[in-house]
Structure 1
Amino acid sequence: MDTSALATSFGARLPDWVLSELAGVPEVLPTDEDRIRLANRLAERNHREDTGGPFAALVVDSATGRLVSAGVNLVLSSGLSSTHAEVVALSLAQTRLSTWNLGAPGAPELELVVNWRPCVMCYGAAMWSGVRRLLIAGDGPEVEALTGFDEGPMREDWAEQFGERGIRVDRGVLRDEAIEVFREYGAREDAVVYNAR
């Protein structure tokens, strides 16, 4: 087999606007509201900048509130279907901390902050990342109803499954603000819904 035509690497990069947006953000986000507010802000700007869908995620040190990484959905700008905001934020945290296990013994407890419940792909990514807490603005049918995205066949007991693995789930922080971001995206005439099926 001639392997010269095979791809041997792939990657994604945060758009420059994310770093500009984060430049004015304090390194410590002390409250759940501060964390979700930032995720909502990044999600809203992400779709306005046309770099991806209306989704953003953060990895934060639970005890101190220190921001470890930030990610936005990069499917459209990267051409990679796996570059959802959660995967981007987790991967950047793992890169920064030089570990695949964000819950390694002796490491600070980290949490994944997302502007809505993870889709079926990100459910697995979050579960296996090592984070000890999932903080989400909300869950429910609003994302699919307002945007047309297919979030996949999630288990009814998805939050309990996290709990059984030592990952606490907290939800309902600035939920209406998150829903407004999805409503704005769904109202766009040029909104791209990038479901493969």
Structure 2
Amino acid sequence: MPPTPPHSGPADPGDADLAHLRRSFVVATHAAKRGNAPFGAVVASPSGTVLVEAGNRVGETGDCTAHAELVAVRIASAKFSPAELRKATIYASAEPCVMCSGAIYWSGIRRIVYGIDAVSLRRLHGETANATDVELSPRQVFAASPHDAQIVGPLLVDEAALVHRVRAGTKRS
């Protein structure tokens, strides 16, 4: 992964950040129990109020775009104003893919906190670290934008990896 762009901004996660991130792991576990890939997302307000929780729904719906972050963004965008979303944080159990990063960008959310990074996740599933899929990190997506964003992660990687270890062989979809 390239160096962190300046507008990713360093930030020390607080206790609330870690609690919301851990909640995304629980949401990911629930998604896996419903036959989906084990990914979860939580959107929270600056005060820490949970606005939306969503798990991956690809297995349930057959919709290849139903990643946890995208489902969360769809729900949040329908319920909250752009001004509210600009102040919100999305917590993702794993580093958002390029599609989800784009959706987060378009939603106006400018803070992302995530668990396991994409390279570690691929290694966990036995894939090569330099897989040739469309792998742009959220930092790369936001670096190409005119908007400042704060991207924090990877965090709690061992905890984030647990649901994937339990469900070995699952590929991200």
**C-alpha RMSD over aligned residues:** 2.7
Per-residue Cα deviation, 1:147-193 (whole angstroms, up to 9, x for no partner): 4687932237x415425521100113322100111111115xxx5x4
Give 5+ residue unaligned stretches, structure 1: 1-29
Residue 146 of structure 1 pairs with residue 127 of structure 2: no
2:60 to 77, 85, 94: 77
Task: Give the letter for the 1:168 counterpart.
Answer: Q
Structure 1 consecutive aligned stretches of length 4 or more whose deviation exceeds 4 Å: 148-151
Shift of 1:108: 6.2
Q: What is the SS of the residue equivalent to 1:154?
A: coil
Higher helix share: 2
Shift of 1:124: 1.1
1:162 to 118, 138, 142: 142
Larger Rg: 1
Per-residue Cα deviation, 1:62-101 (whole angstroms, up to 9, x for no partner): x20011101110001011111110011011111222x4x3
TM-score (normalizing by structure 2): 0.77
TM-score (normalizing by structure 1): 0.68
Per-residue Cα deviation, 1:102-147 (whole angstroms, up to 9, x for no partner): xx3x766011110111112112111211002001113142222334
Residue 49 of structure 1 pairs with residue 34 of structure 2: yes
| Percent pairwise identity | 26
Structure with larger RCO (C-alpha < 8 A, sep 6+): 2
Give 5+ residue unaligned stretches, structure 2: 1-14
Task: Give the letter for the 1:116 counterpart.
Answer: A
Q: Which residue of 1 aligns with 2:44?
A: 60
| Aligned 8 A contact 1:119 1:151 in 2 | no
2:166 to 154, 168, 184: 184
1:118 to 68, 92, 96: 96
Q: C-alpha distance in 2, partners of 1:159/1:107?
A: 19
Q: Mean Cα displacement is larger for which, 147-156 or 37-46?
A: 147-156
Q: C-alpha distance in 2, partners of 1:108/1:194?
A: 27
